[in-house]
Amino acid sequence: MDADLLTLKKRITNNFKLCGFLIRSENSTYLAEQLLPFDRAERDKWLTVITQNLQGQKLTTPHVERASLEKAINELNRVGLDEGETVFALIDAFTVPRFRYNSRVKKFELDTQPRQLLTAPRMKAEYMQQRYAMLLQKTLRHDLFAPAVIQDGVSAEAQAKKFKLQFAENLLATSAMKEAVVLGLLTQLKEGKFYVEDPTGCVQLDLSGARFHAGFFCEGCFVLAEGNYNNGVLKVDGLGFPPAEPATSSRAFFGTANTWGGESAKLLKYSPRLQELERTNTETTIVFLSDVRLDLPVVMDKLRQLFVGYDSCPPQAIVLMGPFTASTRNHHELRQHLDALGGLAAGCEQLKKQTDLILVPSSEDPTAPNILPRAPIPECLAAGLLKAWPRTQLATNPCRLQYCTQQIVVCRLDLMAKFCRNTLHFPEDTSQIEQHFARTIVCQGHLVPIHPIAMPVHWDYDPALWLYPLPDLIVMGDSCQSFSSNQHGCTVLNTGSFVKSKFAFKVYIPATRTVEDSEIPDDME
């Protein structure tokens, strides 16, 4: 055992005796390991406050158990935070709260009905109706669709530049209508014929002369179709997306409810204590890697270099996204590689103590079908890794992260290829392809706004894929070229492939809300 650790154990034992406590060797070792990273003055300070906390716990015996030590450390780390407030949390997609829009009171209300993976057939239509209701209410609030308000100093022409949203039934009830605008689902009810569908009906579209706005227009997304309606067909002049809305505007319609998920009853976005921690923790970082193939020796070597490099300045979390092996069925092989991953950090004690290792599976990893949200890697396959790195967390795909007041969505999916294969109109300016990608998911308020055949979702858990209100950061683990784009205060980040991009990865700095490009060079020792 390390000499410093032995010396610290003796000091802990003596300190506890002076305070009337007895501590067993294994428990003093645990506490010594927690205090070892600090200097002598800081250790003394921590010993003092820990013993004071133990005295406040009113233990029934003088023997201090590990559970009491853990309770003291957790409480001291949370000084100043209210119940449910956490500095960092991983949120399972299957626990994300579901809200329904109440058009009568014009607010979102929490839906507490139990949810199932194999749900009732009615949910197939209902989850799309809820998506439509979410987009409709924010579209009607937009300046282009909100009722005109007479203002002094504003010309009548400027005030008249408003659109009136029509429903499908309004068009179907008449033979002709000029300058009609309809919000609905873009769908192909007949081969080669596209329609816009809302809860009141569907209208056939003529897209031959349509001007497409920025974005990927795939079957299964919601669109605003503008044009002239005649004899059952809407001849489209312009096709666009529902307007995006800043998160600050959206949250007003949820009240104080926790829309993000996690233990807190209230949304942590406005916690003054967490805001202060976020502002002062300028060195905190979160590292994102995708396409981390653990079955490739070169990848394991680069990960070892990454862990060693970060051991001296541990980040808040390292997020590894799959696929972790080439085999989609061999569970035994995945378990072996996860065990080896734990062995890579054998000498990185500071990293293992201070950093959360988060594993996000891809559709190609074993044990779960290709449906979103995807269940995490089973604990039985990661038992060795969990033992070697206790702060490992097995995440769903997608998952949510909360750091202080910031909200982060992480999703491993090759979505760019799906957009390009399924879009009705490929963007003319390919140099801005990442802007089209970011605008599509932000305006749709959803991670996968495409036909369910292209990307199936669990109907009851569709709200876990919502991007409404907009989070602070959306991290996509797409194997296409990496990029970063800002849309209405939301940063859309694609990590790219760790394997294919010369071992490049992304580093997010929450204090400044900036993204840094990093790479592990070939000549790094």
Per-residue pLDDT for the chain (525 aa), expressed as one digit of tens each? Answer: 577 888 888 889 988 888 888 898 888 888 888 888 778 888 888 888 888 888 777 777 888 888 888 888 776 665 555 556 889 999 999 999 999 999 888 889 999 999 999 999 999 999 999 999 999 999 999 999 987 665 555 555 555 578 899 999 999 999 999 999 999 999 999 988 999 999 999 999 999 999 999 999 999 999 999 999 999 999 999 999 999 999 999 998 887 789 999 988 888 998 888 999 999 999 999 999 999 999 999 999 999 999 999 999 999 999 999 999 988 778 899 999 999 999 999 889 999 999 999 999 999 998 888 999 999 999 999 999 999 999 999 999 999 999 999 999 999 999 999 999 999 999 988 889 999 999 999 999 999 999 999 999 999 999 999 999 999 999 999 999 999 999 999 999 999 999 999 999 999 999 999 999 999 988 655
Which of 138, 134, 135, 158 lies closest to 146 in space, CA to CA? 138
**CATH number of the domain at 3-77, please?**
1.10.8.60
Residue 217: burial class (beta carbons within 10 Å; 0-12, 13-18, 19+) = buried
**pLDDT, position 41:** 81
- Tell me whether strands 406-411 and 473-476 are parallel, antiparallel or unpaired: parallel
pTM of the shown model? 0.84
Q: Where are the domains of the chain?
A: 3-77
Angle between helix axes 25-35 and 40-56 (nearest 10 degrees) is 130
- How buried is 428 (Cβ within 10 angstroms: 0-12 exposed, 13-18 middle, 19+ buried)? exposed
How many Cβ atoms sit within 10 Å of the Cβ of residue 3? 7
Name the residue with tokens 């942590």.
268
What do you get for the CA distance between the two ends of the chain, in Å?
28
Q: Alpha-carbon distance 263 to 261, whole Å?
A: 7
Closest CA to 318 of 497, 477, 508, 494: 508
Half-sphere exposure of 169 (CA within 13 A, CB side): 3
How many C-beta atoms surround the C-beta of residue 383 within 10 A?
A: 14
DSSP classification of residue 489: T
| 170-200 per-residue burial string, b: 16 or more CB within 10 A, e: under 16 | bbeeeeeeeebbbbbbbbeeeeeebbbbbee
DSSP 120: -
The C-alpha angle with vertex 425 and arms to 422 and 430, in degrees rounded to 5, equals: 100
Task: For residues 415 and 47, give the distance between their C-alpha atoms in angstroms, rounded to a whole number.
Answer: 51
Do the beta carbons of residue 17 and residue 51 sit within 8 Å?
no
Pair of tokens at residue 446: 């959803």
- If we measure between CA atoms, which residue out of 423, 454, 458 comes closest to residue 439? 423
Residues 268 and 262 sit within 8 Å (Cβ to Cβ): yes
Where does 311-355 show beta strands of DSSP type E? 317-321
User: Which tokens go with 518?
Assistant: 């990093």
What is the structure's pLDDT at 158?
Answer: 55
User: Which tokens in the block code for residue 171?
Assistant: 């068009």
Query: What pLDDT is recorded for position 154?
Result: 54
- Residue 81: burial class (beta carbons within 10 Å; 0-12, 13-18, 19+): middle
Closest by alpha carbon to 438, among 466, 476, 464? Answer: 476
Note the pLDDT of residue 491.
98
